[in-house]
Chains A and B, each alone.
Chain A
């Protein structure tokens, strides 16, 4: 897709949904593509506009200091806040190798910070 029609473009976020108890499933969310938008911006917009049950981690909101928003974007470990949205399809999944809690959230709380 060239940048000439990017303003009319859409992004389809294919997002892994559910908890560890559920069979793996993916849900597609379609958003209007906007230049400069981050993956975290898009996830927050999805919660407000399409499905507030969508779960993902974030704390500092785009300052990239809390380091909480790490997920897999198209199979690569990325901060959702510093990864730009692209027109077309993007696959978002929780981090592998960590217990899955829900959707994009894995258990990343250090053991010494649990009750």
Chain B
């Protein structure tokens, strides 16, 4: 027997921020600016993991630099794309504050691309104005992450901790008092006492076979929130990015890299027979080539594949062969060389693209102060549900990270006036420690349970809880996900605690399987097709379903509730 608490390390901070991508770093900066001490932790390296650094696309903000614009227009576009399900107050906050944060980043010399009019702003699908800024071809995310890392490193109130896996929030009737986790490199369990906790480790696209995820986008935020007693919202709405790279194998590049080039050059989407097909699905409104929203394009490509008109790997062709080679070179610049290294010559060949899981519209239910229903617990960035409804506009993810991050940090800092440090809830801490030590017992099963479950989950989600859904598949998926959770609960990993990736995988799977169950249950309940949620058995949008589905965990079972829609704020 391992003696409980034997090697437990205890630390204290004012605000614990879980996840150090754009939202987490912004939350830490806002809290530090308010004079509060912050511990900013990430399971990868601070500022290098998560979704922000992966962003190769554009950032939407009504700056009005390319043409007159107003945040109310951005707000209207966001609500329209959200198919009637946005939380209007969150959407308003996102659109109203985005210009403030984008200009702040400009002051911090992130390097937004400029024209002679000012910050360069371009059109993107679903936007009514030229509104989307960027740093450089394919470099927006890395530049944004580097800029924020620099700001964070400068701030001595922010303590950065890399390779710390937070596994449990420690709560009692009074609210959230901190968290339990472990240090990968040291193999040591840690209890963190905090006066407020911000969950900023959003994203769950790793649950799907085809995805644009980084390693830590496996649903941790949603699991932590549920276990702490907070609610989730809109979990059925997983955004599939329509033209993710499918084949030939492309390494050293983000699979969503094609979009800006398609926009810039007018890349053609063709089915397996070489025919253009988008106009068959969007009522012909796509004559300009690049105005169709993401959910419609996804639907169109997968419908062609289902009808037997897909490409060899099950997607669509993206073709630039009609573009003069000089124009290709000018637009792609150094990217041409990267593509050549991958054996791709766009002048002579098409590439295969397919919808891939890219972003999660759903998430933790918060108010406009980013507070959950659990006192002391906040959320930020992609972890938050509601701002984007049933479908997210291109360019809204990064401002969401900045704006919600800043608000969460600022609001959590205000809580310091009323919240003192208190003893960590002993029952919750003991349960977390027991679970941790149980995992490090020698495995009972002969076969590799962790590897088997990790291999099965993405296929199960893609096939049964993917872009097209039906009651039979969803019901089967829910049953299987519950059986997998039962199997996982019995599994241990052994072989020592230092950088034990099986131990990490066990906790990843615990979060992923519960999150997957939440998605599948909400998808089964929503008997209609809307935005990113498409049901074969309910193909039409149904006004009766203009509701948000909230999910809570009660006595370890997920409970769903359909909520009336919130009124528009503007």
Residues of A within 8 A of B (CB): 19, 35-38, 40-41, 47-56, 58-68, 79, 81-82, 84, 101-103, 105, 107, 109-110, 112-115
Cβ-neighbour of B498 out of A67, A81, A102, A109 (below 8 A): A102
By a CB distance below 8 angstroms, the chain A residues around B54 are 60, 63, 65
Task: Assess whether A61 is in contact with B11, with CB atoms less than 8 Å apart.
Answer: no
In the complex, which residues of chain A have a beta carbon less than 8 angstroms from the beta carbon of B255? 62
Q: Across the two chains, which residue of chain B brings its CB closest to A67?
A: B48
* Residue in B closest to A82 when the chains form the complex, CB atoms: B252
Complex Cα gap A96–B54 (Å): 28
**CB under 8 Å from chain A, chain B span 197-254:** 213-216, 248-249, 251-254
Q: Does B500 interact with chain A (Cβ within 8 Å)?
A: yes
Work out how many contacts link A and B, with CB atoms closer than 8 A: 125
Q: Are A109 and B252 in contact (CB under 8 A)?
A: no
Of A35, A50, A61, the residue contacting B215 (CB under 8 A) is: A61
A64-B252, A66-B44, A115-B9 known; A52 vs B499 contact (CB < 8 Å): no
A49-B455, A59-B45, A109-B163 known; A66 vs B501 contact (CB < 8 Å): no
Q: Give 5 A-B pairs besides A60-B48, A107-B185 with Cβ atoms closer than 8 angstroms.
A: A47-B454, A54-B501, A60-B215, A65-B53, A109-B162
Residue of A whose beta carbon sits closest to that of B503: A53
B-chain residues with CB within 8 Å of residue A115 when the two chains form the complex = 9, 11, 161, 164, 183, 190
Interface residues of B in 542-563 (CB under 8 A from A): none
How far is the CB of A49 from the nearest CB of chain B, in Å?
7
Q: Which residue of A lies closest to B190 (CB)?
A: A115
Write out the residue numbers on chain A whose beta carbons fall within 8 Å of the beta carbon of B343.
36
Interface residues of B in 1-15 (CB under 8 A from A): 9, 11
Q: Is the CB of A55 within 8 A of B249?
A: no
Categorize the interface residue count of chain B.
Answer: 35 or more
Q: Assuming A36-B343, A52-B502, A81-B252, is B214 touching A61 (CB within 8 A)? A: yes
- B500 engages A113 (CB within 8 Å): no
Whether the Cβ atoms of A59 and B249 lie closer than 8 Å is no
In the bound complex, residues from chain A placing their C-beta under 8 Å from that of B215 are 58-61
Cβ–Cβ contact B253 & A64, under 8 A: yes
Chain B contacts of A114 at CB under 8 A? 161-162, 185
CB neighbours of B495 from chain A (8 A): 53
B163-175 CB mask vs A (1 if < 8 Å, else 0) is 1100000000000
Give the contacting residue for B45; candidates A49, A51, A52, A68; CB below 8 A: A68
Q: List 27 A-B contacts (CB under 8 A).
A: A19-B496, A38-B249, A47-B451, A48-B455, A49-B455, A51-B451, A52-B450, A52-B454, A56-B501, A58-B215, A59-B214, A59-B215, A60-B215, A61-B213, A62-B251, A62-B255, A63-B214, A64-B251, A66-B48, A67-B48, A68-B44, A68-B45, A102-B496, A103-B499, A110-B45, A113-B162, A115-B9
**Chain B window 141-179, contacts with chain A (Cβ cutoff 8 Å), 1 for yes, 0 for no:** 110000000000100000011111000000000000000
B505 close to A52 (CB less than 8 A): yes
Would you give the shortest CB distance from B134 to chain A, in whole angstroms? 15
**Best-surrounded residue of B44, B46, B216 (most CB of chain A within 10 A):** B44
